[in-house]
Amino acid sequence: MPEKTIRFLVPGGEANAGPPIGPALGPLGVNVLQIVEEINRVTSEFKGMRVP
């Protein structure tokens, strides 16, 4: 499967599987919860800020 880039603005360390992430990634067949956990891990230092 070709690589696909999807961009979101999420609250640092507080992303969840709801919109916009879940609906965008769910149809791609990826593990949404695993991706959300990784996003929260790498953005944890930016709490209170919207991170691209």
**What CATH code is carried by the domain that includes residue 33?**
3.30.1550.10
Q: Looking at the domain assignment, is residue 47 inside a domain?
A: yes
Strand partners, 11: 50
Q: Looking at the domain assignment, is residue 44 inside a domain?
A: yes
Provide the residue range defining the domain that includes 21: 10-51
Predicted pLDDT of residue 4: 86
What pTM does this model have?
0.83
Domain count, the chain: 1
Strand partners, 51: 10
Q: Looking at the domain assignment, is residue 2 inside a domain?
A: no
CA–CA separation, 30 and 11 (whole Å): 21
Whether the predicted pLDDT of 1 surpasses 70: no
Q: Looking at the domain assignment, is residue 21 inside a domain?
A: yes
Predicted pLDDT of residue 2: 78
**Residue type for 1, please?**
M
Whether the predicted pLDDT of 48 surpasses 70: yes
Q: Looking at the domain assignment, is residue 4 inside a domain?
A: no
Helix (H) or strand (E) holding 51: strand 50-51
Q: Looking at the domain assignment, is residue 15 inside a domain?
A: yes
Structure tokens at 7: 């961009």
In this prediction, residues 33-37 reach a mean pLDDT of: 96
